[in-house]
Amino acid sequence: MGIASEFELDLLMNDIDDLEGKVNMNDIIMSKPGMADLPIRLGSFHADLSEKGKRKYHFNSDIVSAQLDGAFVPSKLIGDLQQFTKEISLYFKQNQLERLAYYAESKPNAFQKYNADFTLTLHEPQPILNRWFPTMQMSKNTVLFGVVNSARAFNVSLEAYPDTLVFGAYKFYQTIFSSQSSKFLGSPELSSSLLFQSRKQKLNFLSPTELLKVDALWDQNRINFNVDLKQQGEENSAHLTGAWDFENEGFGLKFKDSYFRILGQDWAIDPRNQLSLMGRDWKAENLYLSNQDQSIAMNGRLSKDSSAILSLQANNFQLSTLGPLFKVKSTGVLNGELNLKNWYQNSEMDSWFKIDSLHFGKVYIGNVQAIGNFSSEVNAMDLNMNVTRMDSTVLTVTGLYKPSGGEQKLDLQADLNRTDLKILEPFTEGVFSGSTQRTHRPHTPTKRQDKECRTPQKA
């Protein structure tokens, strides 16, 4: 990384621990190969050691300001923060035996008491975020503040109240973030808590939600968590509680007393559920979401073992249940199954489903049955779908779907038998109307064959 600037320098130092003085800078440009330059118009830094045993470091600029005050030694603080970050990351990068081996070779840090208060004000956060976190956005003048101190344990606390926080397609408004962590450096003892609240949210394609609250307590090898949110202006809500375990060879997740309330109905997660991740082996057991005779279930595993299968099943699922999630409403009863296997080599997927009395928006489609088989070897899914009304087939679609086909993703043939083309309106935005009998293969006009096209005459 390079820094170019015009500056006035008045500093005294042998090393970072005795840094004292001030620097005034103009037209600062931070540059790094492969990244956009970060310009800062004005900046100043002041290090004050005038009060015995205490330090004050202040940095001010037009885009960010920072303040660090307290009784501490900078090199010790930096070293402890690096060790704290590394030992937290061990839980996510290594298994339990590897973590225990690390601590067996480490000696607990010698006791040294100190404290440091910090404040970070992001006057214009976007130039910084665009450089290092391009999918993230934050409201102007967001303040982060906290304390780092060492007594018997190393402690870190952080609070922030950004009005707007965006992670890609996930948007949070009027947010509160608070975290407190305590750890004995050089030994596995750890305790941490986190609270995240947001008054309103827009979570990707879902309908707007509100009153999101996430709180978690991390104690040794387990994180207990609670998540609550509801749909804006509706009574639909979700309550998830459970535990994330750091196990011998990986991670385990189990939901407890969790449910969704949708259109006045409660959907409960089976208490026998268990999810686990052991290296690249992903396993789901008894993950059932049910309401009376309706259920969505996931069982099986994804593994290097080519015979392992992960299965997703839907039984008597009322599509109207999805109404609160999407703008276009649909109704009908879904039954189906999707199986994934050989995931890490030549992945395969086979699926089938049927929907009785499908309505999409205001349009009645009919009874739909479909079979699909995907193979990564040919990178295509073989599709076969039928739509029937009054026990008569009105639409058959066969052919291939190619995810990497660019503009030629679809190679399908549709056979219509005196079909009211309104059934295509949800997908074609009303381009067609009338009744027709036609065979058509999209994106291959040379193979198109019109058998009959006519609009019925009014009597």
Residues 317-373 have pLDDT tens digits of: 999 888 777 767 889 999 999 999 988 888 889 999 999 999 988 888 899 999 999
In this model, does residue 306 exceed pLDDT 80?
yes
> Does a structural domain hold residue 161?
yes
pLDDT of 436 strictly over 60: no
Alpha helix segments (H runs only) across 244-304: none
Indicate whether 218 belongs to any domain: no
Residue 291 has pLDDT above 90, yes or no: yes
**Average confidence (pLDDT) over 124-130:** 90
Instruction: Name which residue leads in pLDDT, 128 or 158.
Output: 158
Q: Is the pLDDT of residue 145 over 80?
A: yes
9-24: pLDDT as tens digits: 667 777 889 899 998 8
pLDDT given at position 454: 34
Pairing type for strands 274-278 and 154-160 reads: unpaired
Whether pLDDT at 106 is above 90:
no
Torsion of CA 5, 7, 12, 16, to 10 degrees: -30
Give the Cβ contact number of residue 175 at 10 Å.
21
pLDDT (0 to 100) of residue 373? 92
Domain-embedded: residue 314: no
Query: Phi and psi (nearest 5°) for 455?
Result: -110, 125
Q: Which two tokens stand for residue 457?
A: 């005459």
Inform me whether the pLDDT recorded for 459 exceeds 70: no
Q: What's the rounded mean pLDDT across residues 407-433?
A: 69
Residue bearing the bigger pLDDT, 32 or 65: 65
Q: Are 131 and 73 in contact (CB under 8 A)?
A: no
Evaluate whether 82 touches 185 at the Cβ level (below 8 Å).
no
Instruction: Tell me the mean pLDDT in the region 55-67.
Output: 94
Spatial distance between the Cα atoms of 11 and 28, rounded to a whole number of angstroms: 18
Query: What pLDDT is stored for residue 201 in this prediction?
Result: 96
Helix (H, G, I), strand (E, B) or coil at 2: strand
Domain count, the chain: 1
Q: Which stretch of 30-34, 61-65, 77-81, 275-279 has the lowest confidence by average pLDDT? A: 30-34
Determine the structural domain holding residue 169 and report its residue range.
Answer: 53-206
pTM of the model: 0.80
Phi-psi region of 394 (alpha: psi -120 to 50; beta: other; left: phi over 0): alpha
- Taking alpha carbons only, the member of 226, 221, 206, 276 closest to residue 90 is 221
User: What is the percent of the chain where pLDDT is above 90?
Assistant: 54
Among 27-31, 87-91, 99-103, 334-338, top mean pLDDT goes to 334-338
Per-residue pLDDT, 420: 75
Q: What pLDDT shows up at residue 434?
A: 43
Q: Let me know if residue 151 belongs to a domain.
A: yes
| C-alpha span between 41 and 66 (Å, rounded) | 16
Two tokens, residue 106: 């480490």
> Is residue 330 a part of any domain in this protein?
no
Cβ partners under 8 Å of residue 102, min gap 6? 87, 90, 94
Q: Is 43 contained in some domain?
A: no
> Do the Cβ atoms of 81 and 148 come closer than 8 Å?
yes
Distance CA 323, CA 329 (A): 5
pLDDT band, residue 150 (cuts 50/70/90)? very high
Flag whether 298 is in a domain.
no
Q: What is the dihedral of CA 10, 15, 16, 17, to 10 degrees?
A: -110
**pLDDT at residue number 427:** 58
pLDDT given for residue 370 in this prediction: 94
Average pLDDT along the chain: 86
CA distance 96 to 85: 17
- In a domain, residue 400? The reply is no
**What percentage of the chain carries pLDDT values higher than 70?**
89
